[in-house]
C-alpha cells in the first residue's frame, strides 16, 4: 500500500525547495495549497462559502480571496468555519490523487498547515523543514514583497518549529541548498526502505 509522507514547515522555511527535490526523483508530490486554491474555484465550494460568509465575499460568481481573507484573517471562529468547508474537500481530492498514484511505494503531501489542519494524522511519516526566523523573514520579504511585520504575523498563525519537530520523523535544516540536498538524500534512502 502507498505510504503518505507529510512535508511541512513554517512560511519561508523552504518546503517548496524540498518538494522540488522529491519531484526531481520522480516521486509524486501533492501541493495542498495549490490544490486548495483550485478547489476554491469549484461551483460547490463557491456555493458553500457564500452560504456561510454571504454574497459579499463573491465577485463575478467566484470567491474574492482578498475579501474572504479580510473576513477570516483575525477571526479564529470564521477561519474555523472556512476550514470546515475547504479541508474535507481537499482531503477527498487528496485521497483520489493517492489512489491514482498507488503504483508508487510512497507519495509526498506538501502542506504548510499539515499539523494545524490535523491532516498529519493521515501520514505514515512526517518531514519538517526548518530555517532560522531571520532566514525565513528575508526569504518571504524577497518572494512576496511584504513587510517584516506581515511575515511575523503569518509566522504567529502557524505552529512553532519546536512543536512540529516534536511530532516529526525527519527534520531538514534548510539554510544552505547543498546541505539541504545531503539531508534530503539521507531521508530519501530511509523512505525507500519503508515497509
Q: Does the annotation list 9 as a binding residue?
A: no
* Per-residue pLDDT, 160: 93
User: Which spans in 31-120 are helix H?
Assistant: 32-39, 43-53, 65-72, 76-100
List of E strands, the chain: 3-9, 29-31, 58-59, 62-63, 106-110, 125-130, 170-173
Residue 110 in contact with residue 29, Cβ under 8 Å?
yes
**Homologous superfamily in CATH for domain 1-28+103-195:** P-loop containing nucleotide triphosphate hydrolases (3.40.50.300)
Q: Does the annotation list 15 as a binding residue?
A: yes
How confident is the chain (195 residues) per 10-residue block, as mean pLDDT? 96 96 98 92 93 93 90 86 89 95 97 90 97 96 94 88 96 97 98 88
* Per-residue pLDDT, 189: 97
- Per the structure block, which three cell numbers stand in for 11? 512560511
Residue 180 in contact with residue 14, Cβ under 8 Å?
yes
Domain 33-100, second-level architecture: 3-Layer(aba) Sandwich (3.40)
Q: Does the annotation list 14 as a binding residue?
A: yes
* Per-residue pLDDT, 118: 87
- Distance in angstroms (rounded) separating the CA atoms of residues 65 and 59: 9
* Per-residue pLDDT, 70: 87
* Per-residue pLDDT, 116: 86
Q: Where are the domains of the chain?
A: 1-28+103-195, 33-100
Q: Does the annotation list 26 as a binding residue?
A: no
Q: Does the annotation list 10 as a binding residue?
A: no
- Distance in angstroms (rounded) separating the CA atoms of residues 126 and 145: 30
Q: Does the annotation list 13 as a binding residue?
A: yes
Q: Which residues pair with 109 in a beta bridge?
A: 6, 30
Amino acid at each position: 500500500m502507498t505510504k503518505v509522507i507529510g512535508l511541512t514547515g513554517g512560511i519561508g522555511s523552504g518546503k517548496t525547495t524540498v518538494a522540488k527535490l522529491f519531484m526531481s526523483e520522480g516521486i509524486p508530490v501533492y501541493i495542498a495549497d495549490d490544490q486548495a486554491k483550485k478547489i476554491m474555484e469549484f461551483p460547490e465550494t463557491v456555493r458553500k462559502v457564500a452560504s456561510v460568509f454571504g454574497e459579499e465575499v463573491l465577485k463575478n460568481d467566484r470567491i474574492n480571496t482578498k475579501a474572504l481573507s479580510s473576513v477570516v484573517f483575525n477571526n479564529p471562529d470564521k477561519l474555523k468555519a472556512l476550514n470546515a468547508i475547504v479541508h474535507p474537500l481537499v482531503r477527498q481530492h487528496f485521497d483520489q490523487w493517492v489512489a491514482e498514484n498507488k503504483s508508487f511505494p510512497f507519495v509526498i503531501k506538501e502542506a504548510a498547515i499539515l499539523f494545524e489542519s490535523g491532516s498529519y494524522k493521515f501520514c505514515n511519516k512526517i518531514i519538517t523543514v526548518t530555517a532560522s526566523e531571520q532566514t525565513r523573514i528575508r526569504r518571504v520579504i524577497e518572494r512576496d514583497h511584504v513587510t517584516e511585520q506581515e511575515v511575523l504575523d503569518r509566522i504567529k498563525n502557524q505552529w512553532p518549529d519546536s512543536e512540529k519537530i516534536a511530532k516529526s520523523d525527519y527534520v531538514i535544516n534548510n539554510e544552505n541548498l547543498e546541505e539541504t540536498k545531503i539531508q534530503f538524500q539521507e531521508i530519501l534512502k530511509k523512505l525507500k526502505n519503508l515497509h
